């Protein structure tokens, strides 16, 4: 039969605009979340993390929001640049509830920055 | 900035052959991991390793797979008898502690013929 890969959702933004990438996670026991950026031919690159005792965390040009009620995570990138073009993954990890330290990755979102 | 390095970047192997993928984790990290990503699919956890033993493994990590830290710097993944479906990108990662971010290498592309 035909092998079908995942169809990545794509977000296209203009350079200089803000980007918002969303992620729904599945495990209500997850208490640690990480956003990774993956450029073509490279491994996942750590961007920012957040623990379940927080609902917002800011980094340089990036903000992560966590809504545990609806199991939703978002990554906001301010003033998006061409170098931000990549696939973005959220990953979850149920550390504190004894789930070990394996990451479960989401599907990923392709961010395309248009000049 | 310290990084995880993986070799080779691309490995081509005949089905049924053994393959060893190599990783040098970040030097002060204590936790080590292998993940794989089949083309067009999600990154999937294979195994985590701490204090010279496996701490967790997934269903994918069957008895054809093994990991080893042969010295103070290398961390290897061995597949004993490769199958076509083992073709994937294999990523090594390391973290300083179990509740710290995992940092990934750029992967080894494994192609089984």
The pLDDT tens digits for B34-64 are: 999 998 888 999 999 999 999 999 999 999 9
With an 8 Å Cβ cutoff, are B45 and A103 in contact? yes
Residues contacting B8, CB < 8 A, separation 6+: B22, B108
Q: What's the pLDDT score for residue A1?
A: 36
> Is A100 in the B-facing interface, judged by CB distances under 8 Å?
yes
Q: How confident is the model at residue A99 (pLDDT cuts 50, 70, 90)?
A: low
Task: Judge: B105–A41 Cβ closer than 8 Å, yes or no.
Answer: no
Partners of A34 on chain B (C-beta within 8 Å) are 101-102
pLDDT 10s digits, A14-46: 999 999 999 998 888 888 999 999 999 899 999
Question: Which residues are CB-neighbours of A80 under 8 A, at least 6 positions away?
Answer: A13, A14, A15, A16, A17, A18, A19, A111, A113
Residue of A nearest to B39 (CA): A5
pLDDT value at B3 more than 90: yes
Which residue in A36, A95, A102 is closest to B99 by CB distance? Answer: A95
pLDDT at A2: 37
- Residue A13 backbone dihedrals phi, psi, to 5 degrees: -135, 155
Q: Is the per-residue pLDDT at A5 higher than 70?
A: no
Q: In sequence order, what are the residues at sequence separation of 6 or more whose Cβ sits closer than 8 angstroms to the Cβ of residue A38?
A: A44, A45, A86, A87, A88, A89, A108
A84 closest CA partner among A111, A58, A60 = A111
pLDDT grade for A100, boundaries at 50, 70 and 90: low
Please indicate if any CB of chain B lies within 8 Å of the CB of A2: no
pLDDT single digits (tens) A59-88: 999 999 999 999 999 999 999 999 999 999
Q: How far apart are CA B5 and CA B3, in angstroms?
A: 6
Locus of tokens 């009620």: A69
What is the distance in angstroms between the Cα of B107 and the nearest Cα belonging to chain A?
6
Rg of chain A over all Cα atoms, to the nearest angstrom: 14
Maximal C-alpha separation, chain B: 39
Q: What are the C-alpha distances in Å from B56 to residues A4, A28, A98, B61, B70?
A: 29, 20, 11, 10, 19
CB contact under 8 A, A6 and B42: yes
Strand partners of residue B103: B94
| A53 has a pLDDT exceeding 70 | yes
Whole-number pLDDT of residue B99: 81
pLDDT confidence bin for B2, thresholds 50/70/90: confident
Which residues, listed in sequence order, are joined to residue A76 by a DSSP beta bridge?
A20, A63
Residue A94: per-residue pLDDT: 75
Residue-averaged pLDDT of chain B: 94
Question: Is B108:B10 a contact under the CB 8 Å cutoff?
Answer: yes
Answer yes or no: is pLDDT of B6 > 60. yes
Are the beta carbons of B48 and A34 separated by less than 8 Å? no
Please give the torsion angle defined by the CA atoms of residues A94, A99, A102 and A103, in that order, rounded to the nearest 10 degrees: -20
Q: Phi and psi dihedrals of A82, rounded to 5?
A: -55, -35
pLDDT at A4 over 70: no
Of the candidates B40, B98, B105, the beta carbon closest to that of A5 is on: B40
Do B101 and A104 lie within an 8 Å CB cutoff?
Answer: no
A88 shares contact with chain B (CB less than 8 Å): no
Closest listed residue to residue B37, CA positions, set A34, A103, A9: A103
């Amino acid at each position: 039969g035909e092998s079908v890969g995942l169809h990545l959702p794509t977000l296209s933004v203009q350079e200089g605009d803000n980007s918002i990438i969303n992620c729904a996670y599945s495990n209500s026991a997850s208490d640690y979340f990480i956003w990774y950026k993956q450029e073509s031919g490279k491994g996942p690159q750590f961007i920012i993390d957040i623990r379940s005792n927080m609902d917002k965390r800011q980094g340089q040009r990036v903000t992560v929001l966590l809504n545990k009620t609806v199991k939703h995570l978002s990554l906001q990138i301010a003033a998006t640049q061409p170098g931000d073009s990549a696939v973005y993954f959220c990953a979850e990890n149920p550390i504190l509830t004894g789930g070990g330290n394996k990451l479960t990755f989401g599907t990923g979102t392709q961010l395309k920055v248009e000049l | 900035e310290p990084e995880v390095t993986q070799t080779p970047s691309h490995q081509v192997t005949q089905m049924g052959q053994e393959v060893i993928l190599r990783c040098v984790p970040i030097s002060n990290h204590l936790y080590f991991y292998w993940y794989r990503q089949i083309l067009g699919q999600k990154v999937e956890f294979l195994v985590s390793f701490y204090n010279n033993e496996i701490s967790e493994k997934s269903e994918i990590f069957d008895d054809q797979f093994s990991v080893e830290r042969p010295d103070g710097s290398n961390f290897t993944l061995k597949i004993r008898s490769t199958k076509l479906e083992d073709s994937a990108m294999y990523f090594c990662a390391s973290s300083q502690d179990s509740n710290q971010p995992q940092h990934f290498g750029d992967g080894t592309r494994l192609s089984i013929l």
